[in-house]
């Protein structure tokens, strides 16, 4: 079980690195005015989303399910139900990032760099809540 837990943590960290960085790239992309810079951001965003974030998310979720269903970690507890709700929100946020990435890739951006700055704060709040639930187990 410890190997599964260690790998789960590694892929959660990797997924969150992407969740923190991709919206920051969106900020810079929304501010870019030169064609070369815009095209560079498109490549960076695509590689981050599909090369790092999505595989990390899939592995983090699969390993988390293995811990929960295979080893019974958190089974039947309130904190686990709350954590699963946070994971569901993270999946929605990840998919939303994918939609925004596609809009930027096809030059259909309708958001300002300020909006992306606020959007970038969402995973911080979700990470804080998830870590508190897992470590403190308040209910």
Average pLDDT by consecutive 10-residue portion of the chain (139 residues)? Answer: 98 98 98 97 98 98 97 95 98 98 98 98 98 96
Residue 135 confidence (pLDDT): 97
Residue 118 confidence (pLDDT): 98
Residue 2 confidence (pLDDT): 97
User: Phi and psi at residue 135, in whole multiples of 5°?
Assistant: -85, -45
The beta strands (E) that lie in 1-139 are given as none
Residue 96 confidence (pLDDT): 98
pTM value is 0.96
Residue 3 confidence (pLDDT): 98
Are 79 and 138 in contact by the 8 Å Cβ rule? The answer is yes
Residue 98 is encoded by which pair of tokens?
A: 């994918």
Cα–Cα dist 78/65, whole Å: 16
Residue 12 confidence (pLDDT): 98
Cα–Cα dist 83/81, whole Å: 5
Domains of the chain by residue range: 2-136
Residue 109 confidence (pLDDT): 97
């Amino acid at each position: 079980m410890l190997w599964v837990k260690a790998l789960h943590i590694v892929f959660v960290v990797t997924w969150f690195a992407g969740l923190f960085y991709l919206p920051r790239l969106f900020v810079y992309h929304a501010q870019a005015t030169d064609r070369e810079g815009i095209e560079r951001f498109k490549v960076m965003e695509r590689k981050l989303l599909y090369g790092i974030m999505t595989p990390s998310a899939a592995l983090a979720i699969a390993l988390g399910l293995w811990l929960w269903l295979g080893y019974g970690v958190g089974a039947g507890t309130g904190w686990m139900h709350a954590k699963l709700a946070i994971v569901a929100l993270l999946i929605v946020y990840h998919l939303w990032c994918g939609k925004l990435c596609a809009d930027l890739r096809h030059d259909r951006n309708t958001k300002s760099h300020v909006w992306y700055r606020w959007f970038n704060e969402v995973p911080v709040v979700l990470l804080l809540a998830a870590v508190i639930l897992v470590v403190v187990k308040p209910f």
